[in-house]
Amino acid sequence: MGYEKSEKAFREAFRYIPGGVDSPVRAFGSVGGTPPFIERGEGAYLYDIDGNRYIDYVQSWGPLIFGHADRDIEEAVVRTAAKGLSFGAPTQLETELAKEIVELFPSIDKVRFVNSGTEAVMSAIRLARGYTGRNDIVKFTGCYHGHSDSLLVQAGSGAATFGNPSSPGVPADLSKHTLLAKYNDIETVRRCFEDSTEGIACVIIEPIAGNMGLVPADREFLGALRRLCDEYGALLIFDEVMSGFRASLLGAQGIVDTRADIVTLGKVIGGGMPVGAFGGRSDIMAMLSPEGPVYQAGTLSGNPVAMAAGLASVKKLKADPSIYVTLAGRAKRLMEGFKAAADAEEIALVTEVRGSMFGFFFSDKSVRNFEEALENDTERFAKFHSAMLRRGIYLACSSFETGFISTAIDDEMIEESIRAAYEAMREIND
Ligand code: KE4
C-alpha cells in the first residue's frame, strides 16, 4: 500500500487548514502516520486517493449505519436537492422526521433540529439552565459532548469536583459551573450536588460512553442517577448523539429502563448529512423560543436535504429493527476474533460490544471509567491500528473512540478482518 498522494495532499491541506483537517481526530495524531485522503466510499469500503481500499469500521464516526452511498439515502438526497437546497422556512420534511423520532422515543414529546451534536448539547444545556433557573451542571470525566464551552472542562486537581477549562479560550468563570463526576460512581455525583453552591441544572451523560473507548454505564448506576436528579430537581440529559440508533433502535433507552428528561441525537439521524437534535418532555421543550424565553436558532437547522437523508435512514431502521441483531452478531464475532488473535500472542486485550458499536483496550482488566481507560496501552494500540490499516482495515484512529458495524459489512469481511488481526497482533508482538 502506497500513500504518496495522501502525503502530498496532507502537506497541501496543512498550508490552508489548521492541522490539515477540519476536525482534530482525523489528523491521526494519536496513531501517527498520514491519514489517507478519501476519494470515495461504496458500501462497506473506503477508497483513498492512492487507490487503496479499506473495510470501513468508522463510517464517518457513526452516521453511516447502511454504509457508503446507500441507494435509498442517496436517492432521497438527489430528489430533494433538485427542488432547492434550503429555504429558511418551515418544510414538512422537518415535521416528518420529528414525528418519527417522537413516536420512537418515550422520553421525547417534542424535538428541535440543529446542525451538529455540539449544537444539540449546547442548546440542551441552555434549555436545562433556563428551565431550572440554575447555573451549575454535572458531566463525567471521559464523556465527550462536542466542543461548546461549558463542556470543554476537565477534572480539577485532587478530589475537587469543580471543573477547569480543558482548552484555552474557555473562561474559568464559565467552567467553574461545570462539576465533574466519575463514570459509574454515584457517590462522586452525589458529592457534586452537595458541593454545588448555585444548584445543579442538569446532569449530562453518554449512557453508553463512546468517547473514552466503548464503556457502557451500569444499569444500576443509571437508575441511581435518575433518582438523584429527581431528589434534587435536576434534569437528566442522555447524550445519545453516538449511541442513538447505534446501540439499538432507541440507543441506550432501548437497552436500559432509565428515562432521560432531555435526549440529544445526531449522526445516524442525518444519514451522513449535518444534523443534530435535542428533544424531551413537552413542559421542558415549551421553554424554547418562540414558544418560550430560551433562545436557540440556526440558519440551516432542519435543512430539507439533510432531513431527507435522515428520514431515509431512520425509516429504513424502523422498517427492519431485526438488523440490530445481525449488526450485534457481527460486532461480537469481530471482537471475539480480535480477542483470540491477541490471546494467540499472549497480548492483553479486553473488548466490549453494544449493538452495532464495538471497542477494545490493550489492557488486562475491564474498563468501567475514564481513569481505568487511561491505563490502556495506547502505544500498542497505535501499532495495531497501523498494521491493520496496511492490511486494508480502517479502524478508529484512537483507543478512546468506538468502532461501528454497518449493514454493508458481511460475514466474509468480518472473517477477513479477523485474519488481518492475527497477522497484526503477530507483527506488533515481534
Ligand atoms: P458533533 O458536533 O461532532 O456532530 O457531535 C459532538 C458529539 C456529541 N456527543 C457525542 C456523544 C459525540 O460522540 C459527539 C461527537 N463524536 C466524535 C467522535 N467521537 C465526532 C468525531 C470528531 O470530533 O471529528
Q: Whose CA is nearest to atom 24 of ligand 1?
A: 23
Q: Which three cell numbers stand for residue 51?
A: 487507490
Ligand 1: list residues with CB < 6 Å: 23, 25, 61, 116-118, 121, 144-146, 206, 210-211, 239, 241-242, 266, 276, 401
Q: What is the pTM of this model?
A: 0.97
Distance 49 CA to ligand 1 centre (A): 26
Determine which one of 3, 144, 324, 394 is catalytic.
144
Give CA separation, 147 vs 119, 122, 130, 169, 263, in Å: 9, 9, 20, 11, 17
239 included as an active-site residue: yes
Side chain identity at residue 41, one-letter code: G
The preferred substitution site among 61, 237, 300 for testing ligand 1, maximizing ligand atoms within 8 Å of CB, is: 61
267 included as an active-site residue: yes
For position 161, what pLDDT does the model report?
81
Give CA separation, 385 vs 57, 68, 209, 291, in Å: 12, 22, 21, 49
Beta bridge partners of 223: none
Distance in angstroms (rounded) separating the CA atoms of residues 24 and 27: 6
Side chain identity at residue 127, one-letter code: L
Distance 121 CA to ligand 1 centre (A): 10
Q: Which three cell numbers stand for residue 197?
A: 453552591
Distance 182 CA to ligand 1 centre (A): 20
- Which of these, 290, 279, 281, 274, lies nearest to 251 by C-alpha position? 279
Determine which one of 139, 176, 182, 267 is catalytic.
267
For position 157, what pLDDT does the model report?
67
**Domains of the chain by start residue, with CATH:** 4-69+322-429 (3.90.1150.10), 71-319 (3.40.640.10)
Phi, psi of 248 (to 5 degrees): -165, 180
DSSP class of 362? S
Q: Whose CA is nearest to atom 17 of ligand 1?
A: 61
201 membership: H or E segment, kind and range: strand 200-205
Residues of the chain with pLDDT under 70: 157-160
176 included as an active-site residue: no
Distance 83 CA to ligand 1 centre (A): 30
Distance in angstroms (rounded) separating the CA atoms of residues 83 and 325: 37
**Phi/psi zone of residue 237: left (φ > 0), alpha (ψ -120 to 50 degrees), beta?**
beta
User: Is residue 316 classed exposed, middle or buried when 0-12, 13-18 and 19+ CB atoms within 10 A define those classes?
Assistant: middle
pLDDT per residue over 49-92, tens digit each?
A: 999 999 999 999 999 999 999 999 999 999 999 999 999 999 99
Side chain identity at residue 390, one-letter code: R
